[in-house]
């Protein structure tokens, strides 16, 4: 095997098989070449792993995660889920769709972060409503207060006899259970690369925590030479007082504990590049707009305005500055987020192309 130690990969497969899981995603997601971008950048071979095609209400990286997270919740007897994040949250959209498929009641408390633009029934919010989530939008509260509201709603539902699973509330320091799915994604990617006789040098992705954590613990356990590069969409990690490398390695280690693997990560194992966030979470940068237009024009690859466009902007910048070896093979992990394109239509700079 060129991308991993075969017996370690088999060990990981076996550990994953022991975990409760429900089927939600269209897997394996395609691994496709990007000839247009490769030509345009004139350097490394660029491939894309299409986790934007996982399938739940347009897909994304969370669909994989809910296979394991809700698999466990259902095994624990849960019938109701309460979650919340920003109005255009991809997490909440895929959670709502997963609940619809699994017959769970879904309550979402969505925080307005884009003033009156968040009143528009568009993008993720539109899909949340279509798949039957009970949505309440709230404004003028901090993330901490938002978390309190979510917990309070869960208590009210429990008092009415519901068995409630509380989704992410925004300030967690324990996300190992979400990372499990990306150890499975690592196995899937390696199997595809072997089949295609492809040696992967680097995987680039938008991640602030769980996605990179799962890939990183899997790669280390499998003694894989593949380098992982994560580009957060937030200026600081969600767990207050931590660095991204600390968060990601800690979530990876929690994930290893869940899977019963002896491997552990150190913060030094993690490459996390925060330089492409720009002025803030969800605020488009010129480089992200350019990356969206380039990926669209070169390979009909649609990137989202909040996550993948900024990660691609980072990759493009590194290639153009000669920081990625020209003979390398790069996989860009597309983590989804496409419905936000419609909610952000007036920020994409497309008027100039008319």
Ligand X SMILES: Cc1ncc(COP(=O)(O)O)c(C=O)c1O
Query: Where on the chain is the footprint of ligand X (CB under 6 A)?
Result: 60-61, 90-91, 206-212, 304, 307-308, 335-337
Residue 208 CB, shortest distance to ligand X, in Å, is 4
Complex with ligand X: residue 61 or 192, whichever CB lies closer: 61
**Cβ pair 265, 290 in contact under 8 A:** no
Q: How far apart are CA 344 and CA 339, in angstroms?
A: 9
- Cα Dmax for the chain: 61
Nearer to ligand X, 188 or 209 (CB): 209
Residue 32 and residue 42 in contact, taking contact as beta carbons nearer than 8 Å: no
Measured from the CB of residue 290, what is the shortest distance to ligand X in angstroms? Answer: 19
In the complex, what is the shortest distance from the CB of residue 179 to ligand X, in angstroms, rounded to a whole number?
Answer: 8
| Shortest reach from residue 281's CB to ligand X, in Å | 10
Closest approach of ligand X to the CB of residue 156, in Å: 26
CB of 308 to ligand X, least distance (A): 6
The residue among 11 and 128 lying less far from ligand X, judged by its C-beta, is 128
> Please, which residue, 61 or 184, has the CB nearer to ligand X?
61
Tell me whether residue 198 or residue 302 sits nearer to ligand X (CB atom).
Answer: 302
C-alpha radius of gyration, the chain, whole number: 19
Query: Based on CB atoms, which residue is closest to ligand X, 253 or 308?
Result: 308
Residue 298 C-beta: closest distance to ligand X, Å: 20
Cα–Cα–Cα angle for 243, 247, 249, nearest 5°? 115
Question: CA distances (Å), 241 to each of 28, 171, 172, 201, 236, in order?
Answer: 36, 11, 12, 32, 9
**Rounded to whole angstroms, how far apart are CA atoms 35 and 294?**
12
Query: Which three-class secondary structure state does DSSP give residue 107?
Result: strand
Strand 31-33 and strand 80-86: pairing? unpaired
- Copy the structure tokens of residue 171: 């300030």
CB-wise, 157 or 259, nearer to ligand X? 259
Q: In sequence order, which ranges of 76-160 are alpha helices (DSSP H)?
A: 90-102, 123-130, 143-159
């Amino acid at each position: 095997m060129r991308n991993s130690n075969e017996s370690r990969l088999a060990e990981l497969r076996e550990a994953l098989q022991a975990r409760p899981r429900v089927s939600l995603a269209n897997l394996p997601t395609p691994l496709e070449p990007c000839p247009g971008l490769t030509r345009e950048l004139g350097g490394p071979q660029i491939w894309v792993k299409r986790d934007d095609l996982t399938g739940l209400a347009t897909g994304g990286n969370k669909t994989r995660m809910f296979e394991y997270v809700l698999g466990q919740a259902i095994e624990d007897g849960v019938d109701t889920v309460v979650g919340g994040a920003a109005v255009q949250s991809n997490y909440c959209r895929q959670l709502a769709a997963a609940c619809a498929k699994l017959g769970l009641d879904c309550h979402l408390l969505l925080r307005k972060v884009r003033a009156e633009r968040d009143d528009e029934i568009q993008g993720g919010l539109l899909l949340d409503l279509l798949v039957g989530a009970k949505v309440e939008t709230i404004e003028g509260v901090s993330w901490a207060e938002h978390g309190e509201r979510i917990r309070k709603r869960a208590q009210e539902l429990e008092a009415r006899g519901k068995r409630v699973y509380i989704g992410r509330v925004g300030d967690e320091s324990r996300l190992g259970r979400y990372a499990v799915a990306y150890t499975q994604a690592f196995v899937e990617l390696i199997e595809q690369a072997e089949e295609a006789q492809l040696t992967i040098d680097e995987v680039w992705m938008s991640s602030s925590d769980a996605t990179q954590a799962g890939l990183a613990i899997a790669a280390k356990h499998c003694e894989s030479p593949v380098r992982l590069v994560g580009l957060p969409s937030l200026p600081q990690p969600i767990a207050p007082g931590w660095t991204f490398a600390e968060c990601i390695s800690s979530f990876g280690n929690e994930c290893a504990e869940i899977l019963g693997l002896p491997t552990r990560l150190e913060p030094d194992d993690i490459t996390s590049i925060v330089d492409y966030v720009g002025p803030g979470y969800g605020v488009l940068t010129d480089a992200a707009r350019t990356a969206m237009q380039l990926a669209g024009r070169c390979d009909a690859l649609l990137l989202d305005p909040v996550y993948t466009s900024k990660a691609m902007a980072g990759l493009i910048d590194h290639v153009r500055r000669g920081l990625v070896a020209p003979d390398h093979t790069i996989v860009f992990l597309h983590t989804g987020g496409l419905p936000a394109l419609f909610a952000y239509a007036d920020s994409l700079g497309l008027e100039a192309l008319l």
